[in-house]
Amino acid sequence: MTIPKELEGVLSSKPDIMGGDVCFTGTRIPVVMLLDNVSAGTSWEEFYDAYPDLTPEMVRPVLEWENKQARMAMGLELVA
């Protein structure tokens, strides 16, 4: 699994942690949990209650990266 350069400080993948799943650095929380919860419409309050080790400062870069990737794939204008 390749972690984008922009997210190297936020995400990590180690074979001995969660079987190598991409997790938020310093946690055992796979990034897929964020993506699945966002897709499911989970409120931020519920999300942070379920994953108290995560902070907005950890989550925001992942969401910004995903937004950029989606915009590029659809040929939409990138926002700063």
| Banded pLDDT at 72 (limits 50, 70, 90) | very high
pLDDT at 79: 77
In whole angstroms, what is the distance from residue 58 CA to residue 24 CA? Answer: 7
Region 54-79 average pLDDT: 94
Between the two ends of the chain, the Cα-to-Cα distance in Å is: 27
Which residue blocks in 25-75 are alpha helix, DSSP H?
31-40, 44-50, 56-74
DSSP annotation of 61 reads: H
DSSP SS3 for 22? coil
Name the one residue in this structure whose structure tokens are 């993506």. Answer: 35
pLDDT digits (tens, 9 = 90+) for 5-63: 999 999 999 999 999 999 999 999 999 999 999 999 999 999 999 999 999 999 999 99
